[in-house]
A and B are shown apart, each in its own frame.
Chain A
Amino acid sequence: MNIVYRTDAPALEAVNLTKRYDDDVLALDHVSFAIEPGQIYALLGGNGAGKTTAINLFLNFIEPTDGEARINGIVTHREPLKAKAHVAYVSENVMLYANFTAMQNLDFFARLGGQTSYTRSDYHDMLYRVGLAEEFHNKKLREFSKGMRQKCGIAIAMLKNAPAILLDEPTSGLDPKAGRDFIELLKSLKDENRAILMSTHDIFRAKEVADVVAIMNHGRLIMQKRASELAHQDLESLYMQYIGGHNNGEPSEGGTDAENAD
C-alpha cells in the first residue's frame, strides 16, 4: 500500500510532447509541463484542444511523434508497463463490467493494478469514501447511473495507490453534490502527496482545486499559471481571451505565456 515516489524527477512530465496523426492532424504540438507530487494540474481547453491526447500519451495508448511523456521519470513509450504501474486513470465516461457488482469490479481492477492484498472491507471503505451508498456496493453495474459508475472509477483509481493520477473530465456526469464531494476527494489525494493531471471543461472547479491551471488550444499549451497568480483574476475571462479571441494562442491583452508557471 506504499506509494513509490522518486524525488529526482517530477511525478508526471511532458517534454516537447508532440502527436501528429496519420491523417496529418497535429493533435499535440511540443507541449511541455511537469507535475510534482502533491500538485494538481488542471488542463483546460475546448473540444479537440489536445487534452485527452496528452493523457493518452501518458498511458501509452498512442505513441508520440516527438518528445516524451514521463511518469516518475520513466518514459512511457519506452517502458510502458513499468510506467503504467505508477499511474491511475479515470476516464470521462467510466465503463466497467456490467455483469459484475461494484465490489467485483473494484476487486478485478485493483488486482490488475497490482494490489492483491485488499479485503472486502477495504473495498467497502473505498466505496464509502467516494460517496457510493452501501446498498449499491453489491449491485451489478448495469443498474448504475453514469455518476455512480464515475464514483466506482474514482474508487478504482484510488485503490491502485499510484503516485500519479490522470483524470480525463472526471466530473462529467456528476451531480452538483457529487461534484463537490469529488473536489474534496481530490484535495485529500493531494494531501496524500499524489500528483494529479486533470483535464476539464469546468473552469470554476479547476480554479478552486488546481495548483497550476493550463489552457490548451489546437494542440498547443498557450497558458500556464499558478493558482496564486490566478487568485485575483477572472479565469473565465482569461480563458475566453485565449480560446475565444485568439486561435493562434496569443492573449488579447496582458496575457501570460505557457512558461509562466515554470
Chain B
Amino acid sequence: MLKTLIEKEIRDIIGSTKFAITFAVCALLIIMAFYTGATRHKLYVTHHQASQAEQLRSMEGITDWFDVEGTRLFLPPRPLASLISGISNDIGRTADVTGRGSIPTDDSRYNEDPLFAVFRFIDLDFVFTVILSLFAILLGYDAISGEKERGTLKLSFANAVSRSTYLAGKLLGAFIALTMAILIPIAIGIFLFLLMGISMTEEEWVRLLLIILIGLMSFGVFLSLSICVSAMTHRSANSFLVLLVVWVLCVHIVPRASVLLAARSVEVPSLDEISYKRAALNQQLSREFRESLKEGQASFLYSSSTIDGNVLMTLVDSLSQERSRKATEFSARLEEERANRQGVQEKIAFSIARISPVTSFSLASAALAGTSLELKDRFIEQAHDYQEKFAAFYEEKTGMSLSGGLRIQMSADGDTVGEPEKPQSIDPTEMPQFAFTEPELTEIVQTTVMDFGLLAVFTMLFFAGAFVSFLRYDVR
C-alpha cells in the first residue's frame, strides 16, 4: 500500500507543471552555484599565489633581516568555501605580522568587490535556505487540502487506507521526487567542478556529502511542515498563506531577530572602544618609557663620565620589553573579555535562531565548509602562533626582538684592507612557512551533531503534527 502511494505521489509530482518549473529553476541555480564557485575558486587561487609571490619579490634586495619589518599571512582559498561562503567573504584574508600583540586582518572579498556585498554570491547556502525551502512549500502546501479540493481524497479513503500510511506515502513520495530534482543538478555540478580542474581531498568530499545530506534534511523539514499545515487547513490557498508567513519568519525574521535579542541581553564592547582603551594605555606606557629612559640616562651620567653603549642598549631593551609586556597583557585582557562576552552573545543568538530550521542548516553547512564564525578566530589564532615562530626566527637572525628597540651601529675608524665585503641578500624562503589548518572532520561533525539532530526532530514533530491533524480531517 505504502509503495503504491509513494509511486503515485512521485508520478503525480513529476507530471505537474509546477514541478517542471521548480526543477528547471533548481537545476539552473545549483549548476550555477557550482560553476561560479569553481570559477571564483580558481581566480582566488591565482590571486593567492600572486600575492605570495609578490611578498617574496618585495623582499628581494634586502640584505639584512633587520630591515624586514614583518610579514603578511594569506588565508588560502578552499573549494568548499566557494560553495558555502559562510563568513569567508566578509572577513579579512590577510594578516600583517609585525610584532607582538593583536593581529588585525584585512582585505575581505566584499571589500574588494563591494557590489557582491550588496547582492551576495549565489552559493549552495542560498539555494538551500532560500530557494529549496520555498520550493518545498510550493510543492507541499496542497498535499492534503489540494487533494480534498480536487476530490481525490474522498475516493482514496473509500479504500482500506490508513491515514498514517497515506501521510507517509505523501511525505516520502514528495521527498523522493524532489530529492531527485536536487541530486541530478548537484551531480552535474560536481562533474562540472571536476571538469574545471577543482581538486578536493577525501575529507573535503565527505564534508560536501554531509552538506548535501543536511541540505536535504532541511528540505525535508519544510516538506513535512507543508504537509502538516496542509493537513490543518481545508483550502490550499489558506495553507499557502500560512506557509508563506512561516517561511518569511524562518528565513528572514528569526535569524535577524535572534541577533537583536542576543545583543540586548549581553553587551559586547565595540572594537572602537577597545582600540581607544588600548591607545590610551599605549600613550601612558610611552610616557612611562620616556621617563624611565631619562632617569636611566641621568643615573649613567652621574655615575660615570662615559656612556657605555652596551649598557644603554640593555636598558632600552628591557624598558621596551616591559612596555610591550604590559601592552600585550592589557590587550589580551580586553580581547579575552570581549571574546567571552561575544561567545555568550553568540550562544544566545544561535539558540534563538535555531528555532528556524534554516539556521541549523546554515550553521552546520558553514561548519562543514570551514566558513563558520570560527574561521576568523582560527585564522587569527594560527596567525598568533605563527607570530611567535616568526619572532623567534627574527630574533635568531637579528639578535633583537620584533617588538622594537634601538640598534646602534658603530663602525671602527681606520684603514680597511682590500674591498669591503658585498652584503649577501637574505633568503626569504628561510622564514617559517604559514600553513592554515582546518579542524579535523570528527571535530566538525561533533559540532554539527546538534543541528542534524534538530532537523530530524523538526521533521518528526511536523509529521506527528500532520498525523494528529489528519486523524480529525474531514476527507469529504
Contacts and interface: CB of A to CB of B under 8 A. Distances in A.
Interface of A: 56, 59, 61-62, 80-82, 84-85, 87-89, 91, 93-100, 104, 108-109, 111-114, 153, 156, 160, 166
Q: Which of B150, B155, B157, B475 has the most CB of A within 10 A?
A: B155
Contacts of A87: 158
A97 B11 CA distance: 10
Contacts of B152: 95-97
B161 interface: yes
Contacts of A96: 152, 155
Most chain B C-beta atoms within 10 Å of own C-beta, residue among A104, A112, A114: A112
Nearest to B158: A89
B150 A111 contact: no
Contacts of A84: 157-160
Given A87-B158, A88-B158, A95-B152, 20 more contacts: A61-B154, A61-B476, A62-B476, A80-B160, A81-B162, A84-B160, A85-B159, A93-B151, A95-B151, A96-B152, A97-B12, A99-B15, A104-B11, A108-B4, A108-B8, A109-B159, A112-B1, A112-B156, A113-B159, A113-B160
12 contacts: A61-B154, A62-B474, A81-B161, A84-B158, A84-B159, A84-B160, A89-B158, A95-B155, A97-B8, A109-B155, A109-B159, A113-B160
Interface in B8-27: 8, 11-12, 15-16
Given A100-B11, A100-B12, A112 B159 contact: yes
B158 A56 contact: no
Given A61-B474, A108-B4, A91 B159 contact: no
B363 to A, nearest CB: 38
A92 to B, nearest CB: 10
A84 B1 CA distance: 14
Contacts of B151: 91, 93-95
Contacts of B16: 99
A59 B11 contact: no
A97 B1 CA distance: 18
A97 B152 CA distance: 7
Contact of A112 (B11, B15, B154, B161): B161
Q: What are the 9 A-B residue pairs with the smallest beta carbon separation, nearest first?
A: A95-B151, A89-B158, A99-B15, A111-B4, A85-B160, A81-B160, A84-B160, A112-B159, A108-B8
Nearest to A116: B4
B146 to A, nearest CB: 11
Contacts of B162: 81
A1 B1 CA distance: 18
Contacts of A81: 160-162
A27 B130 CA distance: 49
Contacts of B154: 61, 91, 95
A114 B159 contact: yes
Contacts of B12: 97, 99-100
A18 B476 CA distance: 18
Contacts of A113: 159-160
Nearest to A80: B160
Contacts of A97: 8, 12, 150, 152
A55 to B, nearest CB: 10
B415 to A, nearest CB: 104
A156 B158 CA distance: 11
Interface in B447-476: 474-476
Nearest to A109: B155
A99 B160 CA distance: 24
Contacts of B5: 112
Nearest to B475: A61
Contacts of A100: 11-12, 15
Interface in B116-163: 150-152, 154-162
Contacts of B161: 81, 112
Given A108-B4, A108-B8, A98 B150 contact: yes
B9 to A, nearest CB: 10
A7 to B, nearest CB: 22
Interface in B269-298: none
Contacts of A94: 151, 155
Contact of A89 (B4, B11, B15, B155): B155
